[in-house]
Amino acid sequence: MQNPIHPRDLIVGLQKGLALIQLFSKAHPRLSVPQAAKLSGLTQSATRRFFLTLVHDGYLHTDGRAYWLTAKTLRLGQAYVDSAQFPRMVRPIVEYIASRSGEHASVGVIDDDELVYIARSRHTPFNSTSVRLGERVPIYCTAGGRLWLASLEEAECEAVLTRIQRERRTPYTVTDVAQLMAKMEEVRRLGYATVEQEFEIGMLVVAVPLADREGQYWGALSLTSHLSRTSMENLCRDHLDLLYSAQAMLSA
């Protein structure tokens, strides 16, 4: 836990510029100044100046009306991947789990009500675009996300589920808050989480929580397979012990 930073030491302009970059998404690949101003709460004048600065520095392109991100913004995420110690530490264990199981292994952490993959195995025995390094996925329909939700107090867990958008991604996706709360109770009882075809058709995921020395959840170690390869029952039977052994190493 970092010490709180006094507001006088903050550079508000930097905060706003980074916030504007994060507005771009699958839903908003291109933004006009009025659109970005409305989404960010900034004035159109301020938004325009921020956008022009980002264009000048090579992080945005524009046709004079719309703005969109350039490949240079990838440097921001890649800088974390290249410099952060933790992903480098967990990668060998992730690769070990994948080689022993023959399945895809990954580690995800929570960031702003989403699960972000910070490490993944090179071994991928099936085609999927959803388990990519840096990919941000929902917490309500992913095993790692549900482990985090289950680590919260019941009232806080329900508040988060009520607050977030719950999209029905497949015919199997559970979106009802009461049903999801029952799922969280099951996760607490079992100590691990499973998700079967709720995030992607055919995808099976089992995950165990990763905690610090004080028992605080900080991430999840997941094993992902496909219905064409195995069943959820067999995935858990064959590989849960392997996940628990890696859990002990990563928690240490």
d(CA 100, CA 114): 28
pLDDT digit string, tens, across residues 203-215: 999 999 998 777 7
Q: Given this model, what pLDDT does residue 206 score?
A: 97
Q: Given this model, what pLDDT does residue 83 score?
A: 63
Q: Given this model, what pLDDT does residue 250 score?
A: 79
**pTM passes above 0.75:** no
* Least confident span in 19-28, 55-64, 146-155: 19-28
> How many CB atoms neighbour CB 243 within 10 A?
21
**Topology classification of domain 84-251:** Beta-Lactamase (3.30.450)
List Cβ neighbours of 125 (8 Å cut-off, separation of 6 or more): 102, 103, 104, 225, 226, 229
* Residue in 203, 139, 126 with CA at minimum distance from that of residue 167: 139
* Residue in 22, 111, 36 with CA at minimum distance from that of residue 69: 22
Mean pLDDT, the chain, integer: 89
> Class for domain 7-74, per CATH?
mainly alpha
Q: Where are the domains of the chain?
A: 7-74, 84-251
d(CA 180, CA 166): 11
Mean pLDDT of 128-148: 84
Whether residue 86 is predicted with pLDDT greater than 80 in this model: the reply is no
Q: What is the pLDDT confidence band of residue 129, given thresholds at 50, 70 and 90?
A: low
d(CA 31, CA 185): 41
Mean pLDDT of 101-109: 92
Q: Given this model, what pLDDT does residue 12 score?
A: 85
